[in-house]
Amino acid sequence: MLPLIKTSIPPRNILMPRLEEVLYSGYVAQGEIVEEFERKFEDFIGGGNTLSLNSGTAALHIALILAGVQEGDEVISTAMTAEPTNVAIKMVGAKIRWADIDYETGNISAAAIQNVINEKTKAIIVVDYAGTGVDVKGIQEISQQYNIPVIEDAAHALGTTYNGKKAGTHFPFTVFSFQAIKHLTTIDGGALQIQDKQLYEKGKLIRWFGLDKKLSRLDNDIHFQGYKYHMNNVNAAIGLVQLETIDELLQKYRLIGKYLDLHLSDLFGVETVKHYPNTESSYWLYTLKVDRRDDFVKMMTENGFMASEIHKRNDLHSYLNDHPAKMPNLDRFYSRLVHIPCGWWVTVEDCEKMIQLIKKGW
């Protein structure tokens, strides 16, 4: 069965010597290797300050704190995402206000965001679902008009670009996940890309109990709530090896994604995802909208290809559905949503087999 997701780990002869060097160095906690990873990741993104963390969820939590979101506030978000996006909002005691999606992309709609802004809105979370870039221009304009900070959840979107610039450069806060199945994995981990240097320095305190690691424990004085959210040298060492070939890996995803775009775009019963002008997807997942989804999944599975919607729309979780909302675009999109294999493990021959199966119908 050709899987939807597969972890990419560097070859043993490349990874293990680097990993063993750290493991037996006598210092495996947060140290110089973490610093090196952060600077190399900043170079890859092309802007901002990288706060490495032990998960993308930790990055979301710190982003909300730095954005000033507090108990009783509201955060506008999308239900078309993995659960951590919205669980993090509850972690700061805020309420979730849903905005509908753009049916063509699956991403949160700028117009829908504007429709639900109110006096309690303190932040907006946008998600590049499956790696498809959000409407950067439209969302930036709303953020500036209402002076509301935007947090971009780019867990799926490492390398996704708008006007040639990567995710991580467009909004005040951008969240990345390095969890096991992402483009770049540190086995588990994440990062928060922060544009403002002062907020970055505050973020460093939040990730380590409120303590300043530049000072001794005896010289520290905690002024606000912090957490144990740091990355360690072992995870960072894996990340550094991954970064050395990340461009080649991303290109493999794009090659397969664009091949499928080209050959599936005009088939009966199938719609491919559209992309906003001047954006390029990371194709972390390949998204289709199909008629009779259950029959489609059965047909693909019987022929050796995994197919699934993967994510449960978040407004179906009672705990997250603070403000139930009518979202007709999401209803329509989610009823047809399915993903098929796309990534470094998928060959052009695999693509041809999938294309021919889909052309035959289900």
Strand order in the sheet with 161-162: 165-166, 161-162, 279-280
Taking a C-beta distance cutoff of 8 angstroms, is the pair 228, 181 a contact?
no
Distances (CA, A) of 124 to 193, 257, 355: 16, 29, 38
**Distance in angstroms (rounded) separating the CA atoms of residues 344 and 252:** 5
∠ CA 119-124-127, rounded to 5°: 155
Q: What is the DSSP letter of 285?
A: S
Query: Residue 337 class from Cβ within 10 Å (0-12 exposed, 13-18 middle, 19+ buried)?
Result: buried
**Distance in angstroms (rounded) separating the CA atoms of residues 80 and 45:** 25
**Distance in angstroms (rounded) separating the CA atoms of residues 188 and 183:** 12
**Distance in angstroms (rounded) separating the CA atoms of residues 86 and 75:** 9
Nearest to 159 by CA among 256, 341, 6, 281: 281
Q: Which residues are catalytic?
A: 182
Query: Residue 299 class from Cβ within 10 Å (0-12 exposed, 13-18 middle, 19+ buried)?
Result: middle
Cβ of 331: how many Cβ atoms within 10 Å? 13
**Distance in angstroms (rounded) separating the CA atoms of residues 240 and 28:** 15
169, two tokens: 């450069």
Taking a C-beta distance cutoff of 8 angstroms, is the pair 107, 80 a contact?
yes
DSSP code per residue over 197-235: HHHHHHHHHHTBTT--TTS-GGG----S---B----HHH
